[in-house]
Structure 1
Amino acid sequence: MGSSFTHLHVHTEYSMLDGAARLDELVSKARSDGQQALGITDHGNMYGVIEFYKECVKQGIKPILGTEAYMAHDHRSERIARRGRLDDNGGSDEGGHKQYYHLTLLAENNQGYSNLIQLSSLAFLEGYHYKPRVDWELLEKYSSGLIATTGCLGGHVLQSLLNGDEKGAIAKASRLQDIFGKDNLFVELQDHGITNQRTTNPKLVEIARAIGAPIIATNDSHYVNQSDHMAHDALLCVQTGALMRDQDRFRFEGNEHYLKTAAEMRSVWKDLPEACDNTLLIAERAQVDITFDEYQIPDFPIPADYKTPADYLSFLTWKGAQQRWGDNLPSAVVERLAFELKTISDMGFDAYFLIVWDLIRHARESNIRVGPGRGSAAGCAVAYCLRITDLDPLKYDLLFERFLNPSRISMPDIDMDFDSRYRDHMIQYAAEKYGRDHVAQIITFATIKARNAVRDAARVLGHEYGVGDRIAKLMPALQQGRDTPLAACFEFDDEHAAGYREAQGLRDLVLSDEIAAKVVEVARGLEGLKRSDGIHAAAVVITGKPLTEYLPIQRKGADAPIVTQYEMHAVESLGLLKMDFLGLRNLDVIADAVAMIREQTDPDFDIDVIDLADIETFELLGRGDTIGVFQLESPPMQSLLRLMKPTAFEDVCAVIALYRPGPMSTKMHTTYAKIKNNIEEPEYFHEDAREVLHDTYGLMVYQESMMRVAQKFAGYSLAQADNLRKACGKKDPKAMAAEEGSFVDGCEKTGYGRPLGEKLFDIIRGFADYAFNKSHAYGYGLIAYQTAYLKAHFPVEYSACLLSSVKGNYEKAAVHLADARSIGITVSNPDINEGRSDFAAITADGQKRIVFALSGVRNVGEGIVLQILEERDRNGPYDSFHDFARRAPEQALNKRAVESLIKAGAFDSFGHPRRGLLMVFESIIDSAVVSRREEEKGVMSLFGEMEDASVTGWSAEVAIPDMQFAKPDQLRHEKEMLGLYISDHPLRGVEHALRRLVSSSIQELESREAGMATIGGVMSGLNRRFTKKGDQMATFVLEDMDAAVEVTVFAKVLAEYGHLLSDDLVVTVTGRLNKRDDSPPSFSAQRISVPENLGDRVPEVELSLPAGFTADKLERLKAIIAEFPGTSPCKVKLVGGKVFDLGASGLVDFEKAMGPLRVTFGSNAVKII
């Protein structure tokens, strides 16, 4: 067998934070060394098996599939407490035994692969305790088709030898041999220069001879090249939180745990060549064939009256068509449905549609709100008839071929949006329908991104946080949420050209600073490696047979969900039915708002039949008043809406398609807006293009626009046009060349000529980078329009439901609270009589307002609130705090919860001062509870008939002192309990003066580029602490009227300004805005000031009015000024910059007038200066 070798003990990056070998590099090295096969044996899982299999096939070597299983000491059901550190060799339990042992398992054939799946799955489902563990019982049951080895130093056999128990080692090896068979148990030898291996290897050879087992040599490979040793060591430190300089940390001995060449392995084992030869014998024996892309759609149970799924689907479709279009179906509808049904049936996807239909049906019948459709499925008329989607594809020219191409069979992809509170319910329904062992959520893997790699590297090298942070800040800005790879920061490539140019400062630092150079070197070794596994936010797999007949699954703990071990793309490649169950919070808000409107305003209100040409909705959109409106609430989107001034539903959809980096980089969004508003004329490359591009003003905004152009000019079928779309999206030069030839030929055949065909193909090639899926834009456009409609017509109800949806997120709640107040909505403190569990819209004296959610008060759980409300609903409102104490269920009188309610102002309506009530509430509760218990015992009845009897301590009410907190203290308590200032704000009255001192509001930081800025607000949460070097630093939260941000004050700045810092102080901070990955913005202070005399200046109102504003708007302005007279001057600014001071007749109370002014003229039209 000469000089070759096959590695059979190989850890990849899927041995997370332990393996540092990237799959493509691993396979490439084996192939370049001439190795004909390669194994994969990740720790306790099969995560990387499919990706590894495909990579090996791609590179022309044989994949050998396996795992390094964990074995329980005795039985997998053991849950023995750990003693000491859990290390790579299994740690110890309280009995001195290892928590787990290692065992290498390899699949010899497809039966073995199936058993590998069973073992890996059951290790999680039945044996998970720190690690997924199998046991002797499972090995005996699922041994067929598997090759086992005795494993590494952590294996049963070697642990016995290390403990001096040679008889035990032989017994363990013999037991394994009995289970797997004489030819299928190999004694594994390793030599990484480790003393324990060199002392035990001769004994392993003796054991092999004693039991007649073959030997194999392996290298416990954890990284690809020997030079990767440091990166791997750093990865171990990331896993354990240690520093590389720590002496007692977990580490590998030596630097030999890499994928050695065959020559290196032969050299190490030159005295035992058969140990290497046997690896080749195993490689010859191992042959697993995995079938891809053969669809495995589960059967759908159909009624007995129907012969096939196609028959039942056809029945449901035509029935639904009559409900959608009436009894006399238009011929276009009949033709479209017949074509779609035939295509679906020919492709074998009838059952798929029935499965989706049934899920959506169940949701609707369970009163769970469902989205109108996302992705290309909105182009399917069959889906519209089945109520899977809610957009008429014929009306909006949404194309079926974009969803399901008759010339290219691929699994349909219908993503389902549900009210997020019921997503788990929907998965549960699927599990009950198809079997709990047939449904699982799908795993996802987090990787170490470039910026995080830099920060991780700096930390494990022992540097202060600022070192890594400084290097990370020199990296290029995120591109569509993604880092520029570190390699591309130092070596130019076309794909990351912009990032390379931005990284000049990083390159300069690395050249001049040895510490930075070392950090980047280690970071490059970490970047891209898998960090952890998680659960995909949407993806679910449904199988016809039990899951483990197709793939391995896992569950980390008895109450955790079942999850696949293969990620989404691997699941799809196996032909399994992957569906996206998405929880969309905006659907929660819509559902709650509709329920509230029906309860309080209009019992017949139906959001699904609203007018899609509503003027008030378009006015709101045109003003950019879209905070809380789905997809349209960012400041740049608001600017685009003001520019666009939508007047049709189609405009809303176009905004969603245009607000993306591609179209915006070419100014397509502004071109569209100018043409729409008759500022520019549309340009058509040919007059006939007007026929297919008139609705987008000559621009190919949508992929469907491109398809229609190809159909019109090149004579393509829509299926061919979709193939063109896909080729353009992939940018495959070979495919594009073929498509260009076909397209130009088509233009010649249709009479438009080759020159126009060539010109048009170049246009299409350019637009392909930017064109958006029209069906998706329209599906999400409908949700956007519905939320805008609710905000325009039912602002109080909608704002209340928005606030409820984010009540645990104080930052988002602050934004929605500020927005509600900006349009004149009053938000009041929680109230024990008016409040509900969630935010409530209350009408009193003809005025609507929002009452803060009782369950939004800190320390007050949902259960307590429900008990309080049940008593209130049953026996009427509470009369006083004493009445509350007497009546509320005893479990609801939790003193911590009641204290929080008092601080939040929930009892203010009784006239009780908060400070006074806090002084005596415990006594009142204690007295009420004692009285209640005695009444229950019947003690009171003993005296009930005695007219002169008096009972001390029961009838007398504890007086509540008339003492109130100072306003700052009261507001601080509110902020502590509610996360927000409600009854007032420390900045009230000075916010506009403060705004003149800053360059950005805190809310504006979200859309601002990283860099220098000045912000202002009130401080809270001040925390001073010491760094590892002994320097003091501080952090605090800075909050203005609309938002908050965390501010960091490093040692040098703190030394200068530390004496100024205290909670509740109003300050301005100049410093650097930091943006990391997808994290919220943070701020590093460089200068801190305490502004003086903020309240002395009278603010002015500046109202910006567009050209041609109507007379009725002017009359409305006069009416508002007359209704809210005050001392603030009002100025009107017209287009062109001309400003009119309204003088004494224009003096207004700006606080009261702000809401009506913003409702009338738009939030951004009104400024306080």
Structure 2
Amino acid sequence: MFLNVHSSYSLKYGTMDIPAIVSKARALGIHQMVLTDINNSTGAIEFIRECYKQGIAKEPDEVQAGNIPYHLKPIAGIEFRKEGQLLYIGIAKSKEGMRELNEFLSIHNIEDQALLNDAPVFKNAFIIYPFTRNFNRVLKANEFVGIKSSQLNGLYKHDLLQQKEKLVVWHPVTVGSKVEHRLHEYLRAIELNTLLSMVPDDSKCDPDEILIAEEALQSKFEAFPFIIDNTQKLMDACDLSIYFEPQIKSKNRYAYTKEGEMFDRTLLRRIAYKGLAYRYGNDHPVARERMEKELSIIEFKNYCAYFLITFDIVRYAMGRCKFYHVGRGSGANSIVAYCLRITDVDPIDLDLYFERFLHEKRTSPPDFDIDFAWDERETIQKYIFKKYPKWHVAFLGTMSTFKDRAIIREIGKVLGLPKEEIDTFTDPTKERENQQNSTYQKLLAVHHHMRSMPNQRSIHAGGILISDEPITYYTALDMPPKGFVTVQWDMYEAEAIGYEKFDVLSQRGIGHIREAVQLIKKNQNKEIDIHDFKTFKDDLRLNAILREGQPVGCFYIESPAMRQLLKKLKCEDYLTLVAASSIIRPGVASSGMMKSFIERYHAPDKVVYLCKEMEEQLKETYGVMVYQEDVIKVCHYFAGLDLADADVLRKAMSGKYRSKLAFEELVNKFFQSARVQGHAEELITEVWRQISSFAGYSFSKAHSASFAVESYQSLYLKTYYPKEFMVAVLNNYGGFYSRWVYVHELQKTGAKVYLPCVNHSDEVVNIKGNEVYLGFEKVLGLENKMIKQIPQERRKNGSFKDLEQFVKRTQITLEQAILLIRLGALRFTGKDKKTLLWEIYNYLGHNQKRMDSAELFQLQSKEYTLPVLENSALEDAYVELELLGYPLNFNMFDFLKTSYRGEVMAADLSEHVGEIVRMVGNYVCEKTVHTIKNTKMWFGTFLDVKGDFFDTTHFPNTTPMYPFAGKGCYLILGRIVEDFGFPSVEVLKFAKLDIVMNPVATD
């Protein structure tokens, strides 16, 4: 009887999630129900699955056999609205009907067309129009009219009585109760950006749009039994049981080749063994045995197409596009992936387990993460969307909720609270004071009810689905501003349905590597094989820089925390870097494993292992389970579980296993199997304790190895080609630190770095020999048009000869010209800034007529003699600070009023351990952390006057009295402490130092 049920996926409209809807229907004994969310089918498959999950929907043959006294039959559709007003409701008769509805909505979303007032004819879907519409035609076979019980009196002498077989019960469901209707009103007010009291009645549902017992609904229509019969017939004609799958089947493209699965197997084997020869040579029995093992599992799980599609993406990127990529994630555990060049991580070299990626008992699909440079990823995405047919490829969506406390501001706005009061409610420093405020408590109560509800759909960072059958069988498609069609559900629903995503991602580190290689070729005419990782990892110079913890600009290893860890470990080899990439993660560090690992790393002879098996499997990590693979190894070699069960147990302990009963069975299996191996009960219990405490924090070794490979590649470029590398870092959005830090690093290489110049600079930073010119791109206030036009005009027609010619050729505005003059970008004229600022008004002053066309003849303009106008280095530095964010040729310390630079330099800290010293540091960055007692403490990073880094710790008892105050130089009083050879400063007192005034400041 319920043809029009809304869930919370009817964004900012429905209030019930799908489990709640099914649970309420079960409690009321409802037998059939149609989920019809507004302009989306996000929850359709979840609704069908939930009905079976709660045990109240059964397979049709069971129902027909009469063995099931009660069941809820799930039906799905879409409610179509235009500008908030209901047009019609589509209900799928079958899977084909679901596809018709989804494709109809998708076309309108993709082509950005308004929905038609009349629905098209669907072969496999019903259409229900609201009774309030005017009907001056005979309804088509699939068309019906929904009538509410409150509208029955309107049937008297109504034309629709001539088509009474078309009338059906219409009882919309939107809220869980009449009380919940208030929450609905809040959602509508937020959506309409209006006051709660100003939400129009036609923009919200009626208070009685709740689930009621079927008998109660039928009683409302008892005078019109034909309407009940019509409704029953319509619902009986719908059957979506085909969506029910006791065992989830993969929905990904089943075959890569046109010839089908068997040809895929042959093709994958041929490519994989060709890659095996490339990676290992022709005589490597271990690699061949591993290859056969993996291929057999890949074939058994029908993942040949998945590997071939990923290979095709990588082949296109490396071949036609000459793009550099990094394959990371658990896929790096695969020798097949290594030989297909999806990844550069050698799983044999690192003893990586394929079972971490895929095994015969794995129920959830694996995925590859392929990273490209930030400006190359879209090219790869376009290739994928062009290669596969319409309706068979789409981006994954995401679903954000109201959990962000920023929604409290929105709730305050709809209540009409003044901005000043709302600001106090969103100020974290006033949290304790707000707790006593009744209005704030009301806002929190509303937020509590909506915080887990969907707020808006968006697009996944890089997940792409490639489907065998049309994706529209399972979802309608959106067209976000990004320009690629997107499914209406997220990765979790994709996994539940049976899709494995292809992650095509981007990161700045790859851009650094790619452009550095290009610049080296252009500037030094040297070809770099950046994939020659085996040479890099054994390079003594690279490992020396790692040991000193100074890899600024290098991917993943440049942050203060990572620099500290590298120095504490005295890291000087690849395997240690792989471990460091894992133990740096917050969970590992906070669990105490990081400290334990460092202690054991420096004293391996003192490590006490629980037993022989633990020593054999964990010797590389000194008895600490650093990686997820370590958990698998211990479960396999100590307890005797097969590798597949070991990985399932590992996954279960990381919180990704939903069946508590199945988990308990695996735990019992661990203990029973370990007893069979002959281990004592006390030993088994202790090993299990260590596994269970580590498993939730551990990181995939394959992930760490992928990061470490890229780190070495960056480190190689920084070590041997530092100038080109730092230019590449600047041109690819930097890294962990602010831009000026990388400019500083570039200057330390010995390069001559110049301010932007209209006759030398490009849009981005360029390098020629030893000379580097900053680009126009990062000049604050310079318009995009000028950023592109100035270098384009110069490249096309030659260098600018004087100010007048520059103005005429670029058609620059007065404001933009003044900005460039102040920065010194027109210094090629040989005139000082003040003179140029005077002269620019000759050409672009308020009474001057702009020349919008080229001159036939170049006429000399009059020259004027001006008095000598003073200009200072300090004044220039302030301009650079304003327009670049940092002074290029003026040390930040030179802004200080004091000449004091501290009594200890960063390079000498180890000589003063235990002493209280004064230092002066230029602020680089800070990090806030919460202590166990939920108080805040800070970690700071500074540069001393010699340009060396040092780090500070600010404990909760000192920081409130001596807070950070942004950029600038600070006087620091603190005690020097040392942890595993890494010195830092525990701050006692801390203050920002005064600077000299800008000579041209008016205030």
TM-score by length of 1: 0.71
Question: Which residue is 1:1144 aligned to?
Answer: none
Question: Which residue is 1:294 aligned to?
Answer: 249
Question: Which residue is 1:697 aligned to?
Answer: 622
Higher mean alpha-carbon deviation, 431-440 vs 251-260, is at: 251-260
Question: Which residue is 2:990 aligned to?
Answer: none
Higher mean alpha-carbon deviation, 577-586 vs 459-468, is at: 459-468
2:275 aligned partner, one-letter code: G
Q: CA deviation at 1:111?
A: 3.0
Q: Return the alpha-carbon distance in structure 2 between the equivalents of residues 820 and 247 of structure 1.
A: 58
Question: Which residue is 2:284 aligned to?
Answer: 330
> Structure 2 vs 1, CA of residues 792 and 282 (structure 1 numbering), >3 Å: closer, same or farther?
same
The answer to whether the 8 A contact 1:189-1:217 is kept is yes
The answer to whether the 8 A contact 1:377-1:383 is kept is yes
Q: Return the alpha-carbon distance in structure 2 between the equivalents of residues 960 and 1136 of structure 1.
A: 54
Aligned partner (choices 888, 896, 903) of residue 822 of structure 2: 903
Alignment of 1:139 with 2:120, yes or no, is: yes
The answer to whether the 8 A contact 1:636-1:1007 is kept is no
Higher mean alpha-carbon deviation, 998-1007 vs 726-735, is at: 998-1007
Q: CA deviation at 1:110?
A: 2.5
Q: State the Cα deviation string for residues 266-308 of structure 1 (Å, max 9, x = none).
A: 5655655665565454443322131553224436665999971
Q: CA deviation at 1:145?
A: 2.4
Alignment of 1:614-1013 (within 5 A): 614-678=539-603, 681-730=606-655, 733-806=660-733, 812-814=738-740, 816-817=742-743, 827-841=753-767, 843-844=769-770, 850-858=772-780, 860=782, 864-865=786-787, 868-869=790-791, 872-873=794-795, 877-882=799-804, 884=806, 890=809, 893=812, 897-921=816-840, 923=842, 933-935=854-856, 953-954=859-860, 963=869, 970=876, 973-975=879-881, 977-984=883-890, 988-990=894-896, 1004-1009=925-930
Q: Return the alpha-carbon distance in structure 2 between the equivalents of residues 989 and 299 of structure 1.
A: 66
Secondary structure class of the residue paired with 1:420: coil
Q: How many residues align?
A: 932
> Structure 2 vs 1, CA of residues 7 and 549 (structure 1 numbering), >3 Å: closer, same or farther?
closer
Question: Which residue is 2:140 aligned to?
Answer: 178
The answer to whether the 8 A contact 2:221-2:227 is kept is yes
> Structure 2 vs 1, CA of residues 245 and 431 (structure 1 numbering), >3 Å: closer, same or farther?
closer
Q: Return the alpha-carbon distance in structure 2 between the equivalents of residues 211 and 723 of structure 1.
A: 59
Q: CA deviation at 1:234?
A: 1.4
Q: CA deviation at 1:640?
A: 2.7
Q: CA deviation at 1:864?
A: 5.0
Question: Which residue is 2:449 aligned to?
Answer: 525
The answer to whether the 8 A contact 2:174-2:205 is kept is no
Percent identity of paired positions between Structure 1 and Structure 2: 24
Secondary structure class of the residue paired with 2:673: helix
Question: Which residue is 2:400 aligned to?
Answer: 446
1:298 aligned partner, one-letter code: R
Q: Return the alpha-carbon distance in structure 1 between the equivalents of residues 719 and 22 of structure 2.
A: 59
Aligned partner (choices 68, 82, 89) of residue 79 of structure 2: 68
Q: Return the alpha-carbon distance in structure 1 between the equivalents of residues 472 and 228 of structure 2.
A: 34
Alignment of 1:94-493 (within 5 A): 101-126=86-111, 128-129=113-114, 133-134=115-116, 136=118, 139-140=120-121, 143-151=122-130, 158-159=132-133, 169-171=134-136, 174-175=137-138, 177-178=139-140, 180=142, 185-189=144-148, 191=150, 202-203=154-155, 206-246=158-198, 252=204, 255-262=207-214, 265=217, 272=224, 275=227, 279-289=231-241, 290=243, 292=245, 293-298=248-253, 308-326=263-281, 328-408=282-362, 411-465=365-419, 467=421
Q: Return the alpha-carbon distance in structure 1 between the equivalents of residues 797 and 413 of structure 2.
A: 61
Q: CA deviation at 1:209?
A: 1.2
> Structure 2 vs 1, CA of residues 234 and 1100 (structure 1 numbering), >3 Å: closer, same or farther?
closer
Secondary structure class of the residue paired with 2:120: helix
Question: Which residue is 1:76 aligned to?
Answer: none
Q: Return the alpha-carbon distance in structure 1 between the equivalents of residues 983 and 429 of structure 2.
A: 43
Question: Which residue is 1:3 aligned to?
Answer: none
1:16 aligned partner, one-letter code: L
Question: Which residue is 2:508 aligned to?
Answer: 585
Q: CA deviation at 1:742?
A: 2.6
The answer to whether the 8 A contact 2:718-2:725 is kept is yes
Q: Return the alpha-carbon distance in structure 2 between the equivalents of residues 750 and 978 of structure 1.
A: 67
Q: CA deviation at 1:623?
A: 4.0
2:180 aligned partner, one-letter code: D
Q: CA deviation at 1:933?
A: 3.5
The answer to whether the 8 A contact 1:189-1:201 is kept is no
The answer to whether the 8 A contact 2:328-2:707 is kept is yes
TM-score by length of 2: 0.82
Secondary structure class of the residue paired with 2:37: strand
> Structure 2 vs 1, CA of residues 793 and 380 (structure 1 numbering), >3 Å: closer, same or farther?
same
Q: State the Cα deviation string for residues 343-368 of structure 1 (Å, max 9, x = none).
A: 22232222221111111011011345
Q: State the Cα deviation string for residues 612-648 of structure 1 (Å, max 9, x = none).
A: 1334434444444355332334433333333222121
Alignment of 1:612 with 2:533, yes or no, is: no
Q: Return the alpha-carbon distance in structure 1 between the equivalents of residues 362 and 301 of structure 2.
A: 9
Q: Return the alpha-carbon distance in structure 2 between the equivalents of residues 896 and 626 of structure 1.
A: 41
Q: Return the alpha-carbon distance in structure 2 between the equivalents of residues 448 and 369 of structure 1.
A: 39
Q: Return the alpha-carbon distance in structure 2 between the equivalents of residues 537 and 365 of structure 1.
A: 25
Q: Return the alpha-carbon distance in structure 1 between the equivalents of residues 205 and 466 of structure 2.
A: 45
Q: State the Cα deviation string for residues 168-204 of structure 1 (Å, max 9, x = none).
A: x231xx44x2252xxx51332264xxxxxx5x85148
RMSD after superposition: 4.5
Q: Return the alpha-carbon distance in structure 2 between the equivalents of residues 928 and 309 of structure 1.
A: 70
Secondary structure class of the residue paired with 1:440: strand
The answer to whether the 8 A contact 1:306-1:312 is kept is no
Q: Return the alpha-carbon distance in structure 1 between the equivalents of residues 895 and 36 of structure 2.
A: 66
> Structure 2 vs 1, CA of residues 470 and 685 (structure 1 numbering), >3 Å: closer, same or farther?
farther
Q: Which runs of 5+ in 2 are unaligned?
A: 57-71, 903-917, 948-953, 987-994, 996-1003
Q: CA deviation at 1:982?
A: 3.8
Q: State the Cα deviation string for residues 922-954 of structure 1 (Å, max 9, x = none).
A: 64589999698443xxxx5xxxxxxxxxx9x43
Q: Return the alpha-carbon distance in structure 2 between the equivalents of residues 108 and 723 of structure 1.
A: 39
Q: Return the alpha-carbon distance in structure 2 between the equivalents of residues 276 and 891 of structure 1.
A: 76
The answer to whether the 8 A contact 1:457-1:519 is kept is yes
Q: CA deviation at 1:715?
A: 3.1
Q: CA deviation at 1:712?
A: 2.0
1:552 aligned partner, one-letter code: A
Secondary structure class of the residue paired with 2:325: coil
Q: Return the alpha-carbon distance in structure 2 between the equivalents of residues 425 and 378 of structure 1.
A: 24
Q: CA deviation at 1:104?
A: 1.2
Q: State the Cα deviation string for residues 539-571 of structure 1 (Å, max 9, x = none).
A: 1112345543554223258x8322222333333
> Structure 2 vs 1, CA of residues 1001 and 524 (structure 1 numbering), >3 Å: closer, same or farther?
farther
Q: Return the alpha-carbon distance in structure 2 between the equivalents of residues 205 and 802 of structure 1.
A: 77
Secondary structure class of the residue paired with 1:770: coil
Question: Which residue is 2:910 aligned to?
Answer: none
> Structure 2 vs 1, CA of residues 262 and 914 (structure 1 numbering), >3 Å: closer, same or farther?
farther
> Structure 2 vs 1, CA of residues 534 and 297 (structure 1 numbering), >3 Å: closer, same or farther?
closer
1:394 aligned partner, one-letter code: I
Question: Which residue is 2:37 aligned to?
Answer: 42
> Structure 2 vs 1, CA of residues 462 and 975 (structure 1 numbering), >3 Å: closer, same or farther?
farther
1:31 aligned partner, one-letter code: R
Higher mean alpha-carbon deviation, 649-658 vs 448-457, is at: 448-457
Greater RCO between the two (CA within 8 Å, min separation 6)?
2
